[in-house]
A and B are shown apart, each in its own frame.
Chain A
Amino acid sequence: MKASLAARAALLSLLIFAALMLLWQFAAQTGSTGVAVDPEYAKLIGAAAAGGGQSSVPTPLDVGAKLWGHITDPFYVRGTNDQGIGIQLAYSLGRVLIGYLLAAVVAIPLGFLIGMSPLVYRALDPFIQVLKPISPLAWMPLALYTIKDSAISAVFVIFICSIWPMLINTAFGVAAVRREWLNVARTLEVGWFRRAFTVILPAAAPTIMTGMRISIGIAWLVIVAAEMLVGGTGIGYFVWNEWNNLSLANIITAILLIGVIGMLLDQVLARLARLVTFPE
């Protein structure tokens, strides 16, 4: 009997997962028996910390329990510094979507114009090449200084990091539309707007969507770091806060959820990309 490739892959995935969990469990157990903190420091802060206890590496079961707790009660509010993980994720997602959509609104039309004009393409290329590799977090102090609002600054950082892939891909996609398709439009005396929307946009759409997919990935990467700096709310702040609480189980839970949300965002964009892709 030979199971399908998908079934065998799933089985292998489960085995790898089980092996990793076992390894983790083993490592956590052996680790927690030792002294977790410096003895001098333990003397200072008391017996609880000296024994390791809360601060030691959690086992997979600890994390599983925490995860279950967060999933079953994601939206609680017990004060400004203790809110459910669902609320924190919603804050982060909101910032990412606002910054990302603003970037799309700017990048796609601008990229379109850049791609249509070889002159503008060349003229703006040096700017893009210099601005693109700047870490979005480097903009943060400048944003905080000029905007004077930490929440908007975080959105600005998302905006600035997601604009480049969309801008570059749109410009490239528009500039690379096949000559023959443009010639069809020319021989049919198609006007500027109709040509832009019925020929160039559909032809460049797969490339634009690729840019949008790269952008959402980067935006989701950056929001965690941005929120660690800005503080207040969001999953990045949650992680930083739990680090201050030395709750590694909470941090690992957050890490897992960040991964899952990032995957879902990517899947949504991949689904959209498939809608505009055409076979040749």
Chain B
Amino acid sequence: MTDKALISIEGLGKTYPAAGGGSTLVFEDVWFAVERGEFVCVIGHSGCGKTTILNALAGLEKPSAGSIIVAGQEVTGPSLDRAVIFQSHALLPWMTVEGNIAFAVKSRWPKWSREQIRARTQQFIALVGLSGSERKKPAQLSGGMKQRVGIARALSIDPKILLMDEPFSALDALTRGTLQDEVLRICAETRQTVFMITHDVDEAIMLADKIVLMTNGPRARIAEIVVNTLPRERSRHDLHRHPHYYRIRNHLIEFLVDRSRNFDVEVESGGHDPRHPRLVYPGRAEPAVAAVDPAPADDPPRSRHPSLQEIRK
């Protein structure tokens, strides 16, 4: 399964130097995979290292341990194949809407003519519904419009993977809903592989195929992976009417409120394998726990932070 996955996160860990000597272990031994075309959300409290995982995946930050394999290659730095939608939209304020997107398009295809760049820029401005605002500067746009530009910029470079770091958390509820609908539509149309960070339960259920649950930091880890069993064509209008919806939602909330704090107890009682986090299907019926991804019998004895050669074996 790991061979086929587009993204394979293997034994990832991060330590930060702490004040007064020592170091803080933010998370350790994080393993999971993202299949091509899958929409995966990571959910967890602040400080569990969600953003660090995303930055490591983007190549912006180096993990302290483990590695990330994307399409068979280890991530060593940022790449145009992995587009990032930043929480703070990160538009360049001295450029217009058009300029910001054209900057990305030109980075992707440096040899393109002005006309080709303009055409592609227009196409993505239209995709996010910003036609007519091409010449505006980011300061003249509302928060939702800015994030639309951020989305257009990320999608315009035709990335293999879209990385989103709490992209909607700075928006008001109404704008957030509309934008979620659009992201869902665009991602469904293009079968885009997406990795998203959020701390919004409803957002995760609305958008994700799989929801990775992280325990609280420091020493955060992946508790389990919730499979979203709701049909992929979701809409905010009837989502809550589906019988699976509240079961999944309750499961997530229960985790965030309670289990994320006391997960060590569950680990001690056994059954937790960080290398193969459990897949759970809370939507179907309770308790629905299936070890879909069992460890192969000839698995080598696991070291805490396996070397690269070991992973490549």
Which A residues have a C-beta under 8 Å from some C-beta of B?
180-181, 183-184, 186-190, 198-199, 202-203, 205, 276, 278-280
Contacts and interface: CB of A to CB of B under 8 A. Distances in A.
17 contacts: A181-B90, A181-B92, A183-B60, A183-B78, A183-B86, A183-B90, A184-B86, A184-B92, A186-B78, A187-B59, A203-B94, A278-B94, A278-B139, A279-B139, A280-B93, A280-B138, A280-B139
B117 to A, nearest CB: 14
Given A187-B78, A189-B107, 11 more contacts: A183-B60, A183-B78, A186-B77, A187-B60, A187-B83, A188-B103, A198-B103, A199-B92, A203-B92, A205-B94, A279-B139
B88 interface: yes
Nearest to A186: B78
A279 B146 CA distance: 14
Kindly state the interface size class of chain B when it binds its partner.
20 to 34
Contacts of A199: 92
A184 B83 CA distance: 9
B137 interface: yes
A183 B87 CA distance: 12
Contacts of A186: 59-60, 77-78
Contacts of B78: 183, 186-189
Contacts of B80: 187-189
B149 to A, nearest CB: 12
Nearest to B140: A279
A183 B84 contact: yes
A266 B152 CA distance: 41
B307 interface: no
A199 B103 CA distance: 10
A41 to B, nearest CB: 66
Given A180-B88, A279-B137, A279-B139, A190 B107 contact: yes
A187 B165 CA distance: 14
B276 interface: no
- What 8 A-B pairs come out closest when comparing CB atoms? A188-B107, A279-B139, A180-B90, A278-B94, A186-B78, A202-B94, A187-B78, A278-B93
Contacts of A181: 90, 92
B217 to A, nearest CB: 21
Contacts of A188: 78, 80, 103-104, 107-108, 157
B166 to A, nearest CB: 13
B79 interface: yes
Interface string B93-112: 11000000001100110000
A136 B281 CA distance: 76
Given A183-B60, A278-B139, A189 B86 contact: no
Nearest to A199: B92
Given A199-B92, A203-B94, A187 B84 contact: yes
B92 A189 contact: no
A137 to B, nearest CB: 39
Nearest to A184: B90
A185 to B, nearest CB: 8
Contacts of A203: 92, 94
* Most chain A Cβ neighbours within 10 Å, of B78, B79, B86: B78
Contact of B93 (A183, A187, A190, A279): A279
A92 B94 CA distance: 36
B82 interface: yes
Interface in B107-130: 107-108
Nearest to B154: A187
Given A187-B78, A188-B108, A280-B93, A180 B139 contact: no
A184 B139 CA distance: 18
Contacts of B83: 187
B101 to A, nearest CB: 11
A190 B103 CA distance: 9
A203 B104 CA distance: 17
B194 to A, nearest CB: 15
A2 B65 CA distance: 72
